[in-house]
Structure 1
Amino acid sequence: MGILALDDLPRPGPHRTYGPAERTRILQEAHRTPDRKEDATATWSLTLLQPALRQASDGLPKVSTFTILHTLHEAGYSWQKDRTWCHTGRTLKKGKDGTVYQKEDPYTQEKKRR
């Protein structure tokens, strides 16, 4: 038997409420390449996927990062350490009005030398 015998035991907490259609929607959003202006990112993370799914017209308004993580793991995905490289000293910020602007740190070179 071993550890596989534990797989069918009831788990604490609320039961899963998302079915195959909702899991497919989560995977569909994860496969989508993020729009740098709209999503303010070049790569997805759990905390960035969550609002994207919640705010989409066909999205999931109450989805949690745990549900997203669990769905991605079930589909065979795993988090990878290597991420897209970004230019040092530049950040993209999204204002309250939705505009995205680039901010540069004038002290970048000084900070690199320390």
Structure 2
Amino acid sequence: METLLPYSRYVLLGGGSKDDRDVADLDLKSCIAKTGAIQIAELMYLGVRAGSYSPIKYPDKMWNNGWKGRPVFQTLTSKDIDQIEVEILNDYDFISPNIKQYFIDQLRSRLE
């Protein structure tokens, strides 16, 4: 479940467009499905999708929570991604360098 940590910590923090969120949610589902837990993968996917419609919001668990005062679905710029990369590489020592690099690569691929 190597993808779960980037999803929960980095993807929600970084945010991006609605399309970026859709891709991230499908990546989460795929990651869980690879473990063989197909039904759990579907439930998790439906849960994160339905959660966005809940009247109860937890600010630190929402898409784009790392950017205060920005629209929720704002496409990340190269400068935004540079800023996220610096934070990731300088913090979170308990996360393996491979996972950090995976996440950075995922963000950079959005610019292509």
- TM category, shorter: under 0.3
Please identify the structure whose Cα radius of gyration is greater.
1
Higher relative contact order (CA 8 A, sep 6+): 2
Q: TM-score normalized by structure 2?
A: 0.28
Q: Which has the higher helix share?
A: 2
Q: Which has the higher strand share?
A: 1
